[in-house]
Structure 1
Amino acid sequence: MPATLSPDRAAELQRLLAELTGHTAAHVRPYGKHLLIQMRRDDALDTVARLTETARHHYTAAFRTHSGRWEPLPAAGNMRQTAEAVVTMLAPYRDPSV
């Protein structure tokens, strides 16, 4: 099992998401082997997706449903590949104006 992810990986993903989306509304925090992608909604952070490290520098993705369950996304690869897929598939969830 991969070790707990470092804050550096979270910062790397946050920079990558800003590059891919053109805005800095997404926040990323490490949580065990996951990187949680959160969007600011009013005065709260809403967790919308996560990347999970399944092997060294290999990630899978999932999104959080309205019921709080995690549903897998058809995305896997290095951090950039997985982040690009998440940005494309979850465009409405990562829009800061929603």
Structure 2
Amino acid sequence: MPATPIAHYAAELQRHLRSLLGHEQIVTQAYGRHLLIKRLDDEEPTVVARLTELGGNRFSAAFRSHTGRWEALPGTGSLDEMSEVVVTLLQPYLQPDDY
């Protein structure tokens, strides 16, 4: 059975983020119409951000604040464009603890 489009996007996003960040301590997970971006820590993965599918290969981005609320990041764009936005704005939060 072929992967669902959102699951395919999750794998593509993970490859792109790892390439941009230069490390393998990032995993992604399809969750409804969202793509969760997690940093791998010693204990369990920490959700840092998410992309939300808007349709037509367009996504919006948000980060999880210290209160647990989702805060929107600026703009919408393709998967590649929004992964670059996430890395640019949230790079310190996407680095492994020992980085």
TM-score by length of 1: 0.90
Matched residue of 1:15: which SS? Answer: helix
- Correspondence 1:6-17 to 2 at 5 A: 6-17=6-17
Counterpart check, 1:41 vs 2:69: no
Gaps of 5+ in 1: none
**1:83 aligned to 2:91?**
no
Deviations 1:35-60 (A, max 9, x none): 00000122111000000011220000
Match of 1:96 in 2: 96
Aligned length, in residue pairs: 95
Question: Structure 2: where are the runs of 5+ without partners?
Answer: none
Percent same amino acid among aligned pairs?
46
In 1, are the aligned partners of 2:6 and 2:35 still within 8 Å (CA)?
Answer: no
- Specify the SS of the correspondent of 1:41: coil
Tell me, yes or no, if the aligned pair for 1:33 and 1:53 is still in contact at 8 Å.
yes
Report the structure, 1 or 2, having the larger strand content.
1
* Counterpart residue number, 2:69: 69
The alignment yields a C-alpha RMSD, in angstroms, of 1.4
Shift of 1:11: 0.5
User: Following superposition, which runs of at least 4 residues in structure 1 exceed 4 angstroms of deviation?
Assistant: none
What is the one-letter code of the residue matched to 2:91?
A
Q: Which amino acid aligns with 1:40?
A: L
